[in-house]
Amino acid sequence: MNKLVKLYHKLGSPPSFYRIAGYFLLPFLLLAVGLTAYGLIDGLFFAPTDYQQKDSYRIMFVHVPAAWMSMFIYAMMGVAAIMAYVWRMKVAEAVMIASAPIGAAFTVICLVTGMLWGKPMWGTYWDWDARMTSELILLFLYIGVLAMYAAFDDEPRKAARLTALVAIIGLVNLPIIHYSVYWWSSIHQGSSVSLTGGSGIKDWDMLRPLLVMALATKFYYGYSVLHRARSYLLKTEAKKQWIADALKVSQTTEKGDNNV
């Protein structure tokens, strides 16, 4: 327990977070690229054809992981926002701000692929059902977070605090997205995969690439959020001595690698 507490305090310290996060960048990137390549090849070329949707269902291997990530990232951003707002942790601010553009990108991918999938399945690209509408609202929330931070870019601490408040309020939309297909009439089906047990996809050859792509997106988010959070700290902590020390170590390492 004491080790976990110590790790928490280390990760809450900008110098320690910057150093520790650097160790994970390359492994996360390699895993994300490798798993994405495997998942796409497996899903697009080797997964069997669906007896109802034919090959059009294969867009699921991009759409579903993107939908999961759009909500997962907002949840992570919301937790970081609470920590930033209550305890004013700079690292939490960094994670919150870094998560917003990544989550927005996944939400756009979710909406676009959903529209492309919807046309052959439902005969329309867009229908204002609860799931689609709440997912669109999620995109607006991401944009709102980014816009709020940009509006006070010259005052980063004030910007982070106001942005955190917007992000926290937006958390109410997550259960609406998840339960919308059960609460209201919807053309969307229920969850295909459930963490509490059971799956609507019985064929392992179909389920496998979906799970691989879901894992790949997690590693991509890990890489991207750590990279962006480190950049945020470099910007906001530019005048601190630890930044100068970190850059000096980085330059020394690069020179050593070049000499080799």
pLDDT tens digits for range 151-172: 987 788 889 999 999 999 999 9
**Is residue 145 domain-resident?**
yes
Question: How many domains are contained in the chain?
Answer: 1
Cβ proximity of 183 and 130 under 8 Å: yes
The predicted pLDDT at position 250 comes to 66
**Is residue 50 domain-resident?**
no
Cβ proximity of 50 and 114 under 8 Å: no
Dihedral angle sign, alpha carbons of residues 221, 222, 225, 231: negative
What is the tens place of the pLDDT at every residue in 97-113? 999 999 999 999 999 99
**Is residue 9 domain-resident?**
no
**Is residue 43 domain-resident?**
no
**Is residue 86 domain-resident?**
yes
**pTM of full prediction above 0.75:** yes
Cα distance between residue 200 and residue 14, in whole Å: 43
* Domain span including residue 65: 57-190+201-246
What is the tens place of the pLDDT at every residue in 48-97? 998 888 888 899 999 999 999 999 999 999 999 999 999 989 999 999 99
**Is residue 35 domain-resident?**
no
**Is residue 40 domain-resident?**
no
Residue 215 has pLDDT above 70, yes or no: yes
Cβ proximity of 14 and 239 under 8 Å: no
Termini Cα distance of the chain: 42
The identity of residue 249, as a single letter, is: V
Q: What is the 3-state secondary structure (H, E, C) of the chain?
A: CHHHHHHHHHHCCHHHHHHHHHHHHHHHHHHHHHHHHHHHHHHHHHCCCECCCEHHHHHHHHHHHHHHHHHHHHHHHHHHHHHHHHHCCHHHHHHHHHHHHHHHHHHHHHHHHHHHHHHHHHCCCCCCCHHHHHHHHHHHHHHHHHHHHHHCCCCHHHHHHHHHHHHHHHCCHHHHHHHHHHHCCCCCCCCCECCCCCECCCCHHHHHHHHHHHHHHHHHHHHHHHHHHHHHHHHHCCCCHHHHHHHHHHHHHHHHHHHC
The identity of residue 100, as a single letter, is: A
Cβ proximity of 138 and 70 under 8 Å: yes
